Amino acid sequence: MSRPMVHGPAGAASASHREASASARLDAWLSDRRQAGALFLDVDGTLLDIAESPTAVCVPRELRAALECLHRRLGGALALVSGRPVDDLDRLFAPLLLPACGGHGAHWRARAGEPLCHETAATLAAPVRERLHALARSHAGILSEDKGSSFALHYRAAPAAGQALASALHALLSGPEGAGLRLLPGKMVFEVIAHDSDKAQAIRRFLELAPFAGRRPLFIGDDLTDEPALAMMPGLNGLALSVGRLLPGASAAFADAAAVRATLVRAAGGTSQ
């Protein structure tokens, strides 16, 4: 993941100050004994460096240990909030199981070990999936990811195809097959979604469930798909921190996912590498 662009010493100082501020705010929030907090974490680009493909990401051992420790310290009120399916998150963080929401809110569990709840049974219709697979095949380097209730087209390896993909997807979704579907643009990815949920709704739902209910939320995210949840935090007396750049609603930004990991590992009492 690229660092934010800075220009000269003044820009570098500003980026450094911004990152110190984000780390300090997360530290202060985690160590504030007067409040019961609930920590919500996006995964790709926030906890993990973005890789060439979703399957190529790496989960550092010290991050897994820090999340396990903080989950326990927060009385179970730590959840992963991702566009990935929860099964995928479980594989990535194994053997650690955490409360999690996957598919941008399509399914969730409020406690580790509980069965998944599903927002809706909506899945993409077979003809739409065929169109999306064909679209992926029509450009070299496009990686498709069929998640059932959504379908992602990653163009990180073919950035020049982004505009053509966007046009084709807008045409598909504005046609009869696009009824009820949404297009969610992310970092070098377009996702077609067959449900109305987003991460903001997912977090609201968690906050109605034990052990999250009644706690003050903190959400960290890095992408367009995180913006509704970030923007919602101030209204919930919560805190929002973004990664890479200051997104609407966030009070400070980490430079990158490594900075988020380092702060979490330090707060958990471990050593960041």
Least distance (Å) between residue 118 CB and Mg ion: 22
* Nearest to Mg ion of 183, 209 (CB atom): 183
Hey, which residues between 3 and 62 contact Mg ion (CB under 5 A)?
42, 44-45
How big is the CA angle at 51 (ends 80 and 93), to the nearest 5 degrees? Answer: 35
Hey, which residues between 207 and 266 contact Mg ion (CB under 5 A)?
222-223
Contact 92, 59 (CB under 8 A): yes
* Distance separating alpha carbons of residues 176 and 170, to the nearest angstrom: 12
**Binding residues with Mg ion: total (CB under 5 A):** 5
Q: Any idea which residue has 């935090």 for tokens?
A: 233
Least distance (Å) between residue 269 CB and Mg ion: 26
Least distance (Å) between residue 186 CB and Mg ion: 7
Measured at CB, which residue is nearest to Mg ion?
45
Hey, which residues between 92 and 151 contact Mg ion (CB under 5 A)?
none
* Nearest to Mg ion of 119, 227 (CB atom): 227
Least distance (Å) between residue 48 CB and Mg ion: 9
Least distance (Å) between residue 47 CB and Mg ion: 9
Contact 106, 119 (CB under 8 A): yes
Least distance (Å) between residue 187 CB and Mg ion: 7
* Nearest to Mg ion of 42, 145 (CB atom): 42
For helices 162-174 and 126-137, what crossing angle results, to 10°? 160
* Nearest to Mg ion of 45, 238 (CB atom): 45
Strand order in the sheet with 182-186: 143-146, 150-154, 189-193, 182-186
Residues labelled catalytic: 42
109: β partners = 100
* Nearest to Mg ion of 23, 46 (CB atom): 46
Nearest to residue 40, comparing CAs of 209, 269, 270, 248? 209
* Distance separating alpha carbons of residues 77 and 89, to the nearest angstrom: 17
The footprint of Mg ion (CB under 5 A) covers: 42, 44-45, 222-223
